[in-house]
Structure 1
């Protein structure tokens, strides 16, 4: 019986784990006026990219989508995944987001977010990525 209680307690602790974030900010010496964003067609949330663009533009950086004829010194690549929360809210939550900023094909900054199922995963996607983008583009 003690084993069942111990396993249950461990599972509850894992379920309540806080999201893990990692940020390597773009160096303050980099002045980014224009940032091209490499669109990721595998990210299916239609409001994700517009929200990313809006939040980056709040930092005074103009954004545009990368095209074959684009000439861009700075490029942002991203990935994101959502998972189902079958336990707390019966809804979709952002379980992973990654951003990488490159200059001339060399990474100069990155940010990542990973959340496991639990109360800390609940919330709007825009509120989950905002701290990442603030730290990524801080001066």
Structure 2
């Protein structure tokens, strides 16, 4: 009985450690050369938006910030949250990232990341969002 309880506990802890990702890629038929990004002023990490733009532009898609007068066929919105790791490293880590791509106000792609528990959650933000953006804009 003790072995079964220990094995069950280990499996549950292992499952909690894995990040959860969900990606619905932009259809390959969409030839995006430029995308407007709707800035989320509630995201307080200064380097998040520049990193997102950099990674999208690495995929040969020009980015610009959405302005009230902008006419943009493709728009991306995002959200991100950070949490404190009080147990492993006593540092801040990306705990949630969400991206949504719309064309003419209809969602055509999305990606989300939710960190798991434990040391696997710790790491550079750019490395956490790179797989999301690669898959979101894959062709």
Give the TM-score normalised by the residue count of structure 1.
Answer: 0.90
Aligned partners of 2:72, 2:87: CA distance in 1, in Å? Answer: 44
Runs of 4+ in 1 over 2 A off after TM superposition: none
CA-atom RMSD, angstroms? 1.8
Q: Deviations over 1:28-62 (max 9, x none)?
A: 00001110000000000000000000000000000
Whether 2:95 is the aligned partner of 1:118: answer: no
Whether 2:104 is the aligned partner of 1:108: answer: no
Aligned to 1:25: 25
Contact 1:85 1:117 in 2 (8 A): no
Aligned to 2:133: 133
Q: How does 1:9-24 map to 2 (within 5 A)?
A: 9=9, 13=13, 17-24=17-24
Whether 2:50 is the aligned partner of 1:62: answer: no
Aligned to 1:91: 91
Structure 1 98/37 Cα, relative in aligned 2: closer, same or farther at 3 Å?
same
> Offset of 1:15 from its aligned partner?
8.3
Which runs of no fewer than 5 residues in structure 1 stay unpaired?
none
- Secondary structure of residue in 1 paired with 2:17: coil
> Offset of 1:17 from its aligned partner?
1.6
Contact 1:16 1:119 in 2 (8 A): no
Give the TM-score normalised by the residue count of structure 2.
Answer: 0.90
Give the number of aligned pairs: 134
Structure 1 109/15 Cα, relative in aligned 2: closer, same or farther at 3 Å?
closer
> Offset of 1:130 from its aligned partner?
0.1
Aligned partners of 2:128, 2:117: CA distance in 1, in Å? Answer: 14
